[in-house]
Amino acid sequence: DFLVVTIQSELSDDEISKLQEDILLRIKDVGATGLIIDITALDIVDSFMGRTLSNVAATAELLGAKTVVVGIRPAVAVTLVELGIRVKWNVNTALNLARGRQLLKQLIGAEQRGGVS
């Protein structure tokens, strides 16, 4: 089962932290094996949001869920690289929701076959 989270507007640091808690609790509650975070609507991803997305992905992995972030706009990608976040960011990405679902299926399938940890 995949959990899809769409962030539709800019969030304060407190809202981002609350969202992180909610996502991780939901993964645990439903036993999700995959998480897609859609940030298509965001024009800006600051360093706190970037680190939080990375932390969510790492923690979700510990809970047994692979994560894919979708909808990164070109300007957001440039910002992440300029901030040095992308270099440290161990998060799978995809262009859109359809490709994100496809990537999650591949990641989960590979893990089930023993190909990815």
Q: Could you tell me the residue range of the domain that residue 103 belongs to?
A: 2-112
Domain assignment of residue 86, yes or no: yes
Query: Is residue 72, in this structure, part of any structural domain at all?
Result: yes
- Say if 90 falls within a structural domain: yes
Whether residue 13 is predicted with pLDDT greater than 90 in this model: the reply is yes
Classify the C-alpha dihedral 82-117-114-32 as positive or negative: negative
**In residues, how long is the chain?**
117
Q: What's the number of domains the chain is made of?
A: 1
What CATH number corresponds to the domain at position 62?
3.30.750.24
Instruction: Specify if 91 maps to a domain.
Output: yes
Could you tell me what percent of the chain has a pLDDT over 70?
94
Across residues 17-34, what is the average pLDDT? Answer: 97
Distance between CA 35 and CA 93 in Å, rounded? 11
Q: Cα–Cα–Cα angle for 55, 27, 25, nearest 5°? A: 80
AA letter at 75: A
Which residue do the tokens 């949001």 mark?
A: 49
pLDDT in tens, 65-104: 999 999 999 999 888 888 877 656 678 999 999 999 999 9
